Amino acid sequence: MHPGFWEACFWLWGPLLCLSIGSSGNVPPTTQPKCTDFQSANLLRGTNLKVQFLLFTPSHPSCGQLVEEGSDIQNSEFNATLGTKILIHGFRALGTKPSWIDKFIRALLQAADANVVAVDWVYGSTGVYFSAVDNVVKLSLEISRFLSKLLELGVSESSVHIIGVSLGAHVAGMVGQFYKGQLGRITGLDPAGPEYTRASLEERLDAGDALFVEAIHTDTDNLGIRIPVGHVDYFVNGGQDQPGCPAFFHAGYNYLICDHMRAVHLYISALENTCPLMAFPCASYKAFLAGDCLDCFNPFLLSCPRIGLLEQGGVKIEPLPKEVKVYLLTTSSAPYCVHHSLVEFYLKEKRKRDTSIEVTFLSDNATSSVRITIRKEQLEGRGVMAHPFPQCQTDQVRLQFQVSSRVWRKDRTPIIGTFCTAPLPVHDSKKTVCISELVRLQASTPVFQDLKIACV
């Protein structure tokens, strides 16, 4: 921070040298501040907590300024009038700098005019996972002490946003607890599961740790926590087995870490791109895929949450409900975002067995499919389709009546019905588009229909 400066000039056996001197007598930082990088630790030297606080600013997004003492902060480019984002990594098995952190910092600074402080605790997070867990309380106390220095400089508690990755999410929760839940926001990126699923609220991230707490879950069946821990909990693709991640052990380390780290890459993508990562509250992932949850009326009064920096994730109600599970689908690679649509088929007559129909959206750039099932003695089947482009860019829909491959169960009787679709969220029937004529589907024979949907 630079309170006010005056200029002094000196003759030093050469050209006139002029310096801008701060009103407090401190020389402000040079044009290029001294840069410090993350530490590296090895398995023998790890587990001792050796924390660095590195400040990144809009004017120097690639230069980490070491700010550990109050005087360091005062003489840095820290701006107390801006929001402050504190980024905390998780367990580092090999004691190396996180490969994603530079990109994350740049994305934060491009998306928000803010101070970004990266917490480097590589030393305390390496070696054995349980040793890193033992360091969580000590690290939380160090971050809290650092935060108190920022508050003394005029930073408001509500302007602080802590982003914690894996184990770092629970560190963020503990820091928030020290400040009695008055910090502005905590984002947990696949909060760690081992040692925390059955932990008390005081030991792990929970909705009481900040004014708004959100968590993005991508690996609930392995390294991530499976329970909701915030006001809004995003269970991406159901919270496990992310598309594009290897499904077999032969992929090695990537098999272990890909799902877990997807939360980080999703968040970076949300910062870098404007396409939606919108989610919908639902009782379960199965119910969401079945088309049972089409809007966000309950409990968000139609304000659907979105991953990114929107205030309260775009949720516009007070008081905020807690531990709301929300679901969304993604693609297998960046920018990951999809548009969700309801697809429905109404039979003209009931059938005595289940009816399966594959629905495919066709456009110039992409093809997306989903299978919907109409239960026996029912007339309607529905599901949720995920596609990378807005529905209005879809040219055609392909419908195919799927029959059992078992000879004794083959049913060659054609079905007749009506196909309808609507982009999510569906707030009223006006957004629903139905093919005007009845569709006749013969077993295993695709039928193509034009879709004419206007872009809003």
Find the catalytic residue in 89, 161, 260, 265.
260
Q: Is 339 a catalytic residue?
A: no
DSSP string, 63-88: EEEE--SHHHHHTTT--TTSEEEEEE
3-state secondary structure of 297: helix
Find the catalytic residue in 159, 166, 269, 363.
166
Find the catalytic residue in 60, 76, 125, 190.
190
Helix (H) or strand (E) holding 401: strand 396-402
Amino acid at 23: S
CA dist 289 and 283 (Å) reads 11
Please choose, from the candidates 49, 57, 205, 76, the residue with its C-alpha nearest in 3D space to the C-alpha of residue 149. Answer: 76
Please choose, from the candidates 170, 119, 249, the residue with its C-alpha nearest in 3D space to the C-alpha of residue 257. Answer: 249
φ and ψ of 61, to 5 deg:
-70, -15
Q: Is 190 a catalytic residue?
A: yes
Residue 175 neighbours by CB under 8 Å, 6+ apart: 140, 143, 144, 147, 162, 183, 209
* Lookup result for tokens 């272990």: 256
Cα angle 220, 226, 228; round to 5: 130
Residue 40 neighbours by CB under 8 Å, 6+ apart: 95, 96, 97, 122
Q: Is 209 a catalytic residue?
A: no
Q: How far is CA 442 from CA 165, 426, 452, in A?
A: 51, 30, 24
Residue 185 neighbours by CB under 8 Å, 6+ apart: 160, 161, 162, 210, 211, 212, 213, 214
Please choose, from the candidates 132, 112, 109, the residue with its C-alpha nearest in 3D space to the C-alpha of residue 121. Answer: 132
Catalytic residue numbers read: 166, 190, 260
